[in-house]
Amino acid sequence: MSENTNNAFLKVEDLVVEYFTDDNVVHAVNGVSLHLDRGKTLGLVGETGAGKTTIAKSILRILPDVGARITQGNITLDNQDLLKLPEHEMREIRGNKISMIFQDPMTALNPVERVGDQIAEVIRLHNNISHEECEKRAKEMLAMVGITEDRYTEYPHQFSGGMKQRIVIAIALACNPQVLLADEPTTALDVTIQAQVLDLIRDLRNQFNTAMLLITHDMGVVAQVCDDVAVIYAGSIVEYGTKEQIFHHPTHPYTIGLFGAIPSMSEDEEWLHPIEGLPPDPSDLPQGCPFNPRCPYATEECRKAAIPVFKTADGHDCRCCHIDQVKKEG
């Protein structure tokens, strides 16, 4: 959906992902295209169930073997087509070139294995080095995320939620990945620990020049960490641009609705303005624009066919055929 993608380090083009049962098909991702450059962070923003995690799992190729399928699209890393690689070659990429910080640190860690050994395992899988060297590097990773090396032999239950998240980050970064997929890395953390984790991710990204896809529903997190933003709704990207474009000139009614639900510290608002209604059932998406049942600007045109991508006045992408009207009334 965006320009200047030819030299992008990671490219996702026209990705379609479905989950299926004997009874129906869930249309989880519907023609998503995005790109990442080295050292840059793209924020993928949307409500729960919008398809954000499915996109990340598709990039890493860890969708369930049964019940999920990529029916269309290309995913390339440094001009290498990931969807065409045999599984043994993908195993060399996972944890090495591409790593993922999973959403819940409570379940991402093995409860019966020492945390240091869990970090060392990743290093050992991708490096032909001795056990002692693996342990040394694992302790260095613990120190890098602010945990003293004497806690190497402890188990996950001996750490707080914030420290578990730091350990998950250490595992993800153990082999200096070129791409980091961060799936809501601050979920369930208090505000102070959230700020520390975000600072840590940003510092490590800058240190290793890592490209990062940050999945979140928190616009405050996007404002702190991201360079570009893709707003996703019902499996489709509805608005895509730089952070400044999206924050200063939100154009799609859904994006405007997301900002309208955020409390303002500078304006005296008695009530917030939440988006009316609920996201559609992904196994029975509405015809045309998927947001049309909740959109105050929807017309018959919005309900007839898929909406193409339009350029806004400042040059970013928006999948809405009423850009001028939304801008005028917004």
Domains and CATH numbers, the chain: 10-97+177-264+272-329 (3.40.50.300)
Measured CA distances, 227 to 36, 195, 311 (Å): 10, 18, 19
> What is the pTM for the complete model shown?
0.89
Contacts of residue 71, Cβ cutoff 8 Å, sequence gap at least 6: 16, 17, 18
User: Whats the size of the chain, residue-wise?
Assistant: 330
2: pLDDT confidence band, cut at 50, 70 and 90? Answer: very low
| Integer Cα distance of 164 and 127 in angstroms | 24
DSSP H/E element including 198: helix 191-208
Using N-to-C axis directions, what is the helix angle for 161-173 and 131-144, rounded to 10°?
A: 130
188: pLDDT confidence band, cut at 50, 70 and 90? Answer: low
pLDDT value of residue 329: 59
| Integer Cα distance of 26 and 67 in angstroms | 10
pLDDT digits (tens, 9 = 90+) for 6-51: 668 999 999 999 999 888 999 999 999 999 999 999 999 998 889 9
Kindly tell me the burial class for residue 39, based on how many C-beta atoms sit within 10 Å of its own C-beta (0-12, 13-18, 19 or more). Answer: middle
pLDDT digits (tens, 9 = 90+) for 261-270: 777 766 776 7
pLDDT value of residue 247: 94
Outline where DSSP puts E strands in 37-193: 41-45, 68-77, 80-81, 98-101, 179-183
pLDDT digits (tens, 9 = 90+) for 118-176: 999 999 999 889 999 999 999 999 998 889 999 999 999 999 888 898 899 889 888 88
Considering only residues 200 and 312, tell me which one the structure prediction assigns the higher pLDDT: 312
Contact call for residues 60 and 91 (beta carbons, < 8 A): no
Q: Mean of the pLDDT values across residues 226-241?
A: 96
Outline where DSSP puts E strands in the chain: 10-20, 25-36, 41-45, 68-77, 80-81, 98-101, 179-183, 211-216, 228-233, 236-242, 310-311, 317-318
Q: Mean of the pLDDT values across residues 162-191?
A: 86
Q: Mean of the pLDDT values across residues 299-308?
A: 90
SS3 of residue 81 by DSSP: strand
Report how far Cα 85 is from the mean position of its chain's Cα atoms.
23
**Cβ neighbours of 244 (radius 10 Å):** 13
196: pLDDT confidence band, cut at 50, 70 and 90? Answer: confident
Looking at every residue in the chain, the average pLDDT score rounds to: 89
